[in-house]
Amino acid sequence: MMVVGCKKCGLYDAQQQECYWFRKRLTSDEVAMSNNCSYFIEIIYEDGEPLTPYQHTLLKMDDLASKKMQGPI
């Protein structure tokens, strides 16, 4: 798994310095230590524009919900 941080995550709003998943502002120290977040999602572009952090949050929620249904029967 590649090590990445908040600044390359679709859930992170760089202008507000806020993570939409955790719904909180992140300090510079937290961003620097964010190399192994379970909720990381690559920034997705549509028509040359990145999706908003809110749209990325919805996609990540759907992704996690679909994984919950997998397992032995």
pLDDT in tens, 1-35: 344 678 888 998 888 888 888 888 888 777 777 77
State pTM to two decimals.
0.75
Residues 46-73 have pLDDT tens digits of: 999 999 999 999 999 998 888 776 666 6
Instruction: Tell whether 55 is covered by a domain.
Output: yes
Interatomic CA distance for residues 59 and 63, integer angstroms: 6
Instruction: Tell whether 29 is covered by a domain.
Output: yes
Assigned token pair, 37: 């977040």
Q: How many domains are contained in the chain?
A: 1
SS3 45: strand
Instruction: Tell whether 57 is covered by a domain.
Output: yes
What residue numbers bound the domain in which 18 lies? 6-68
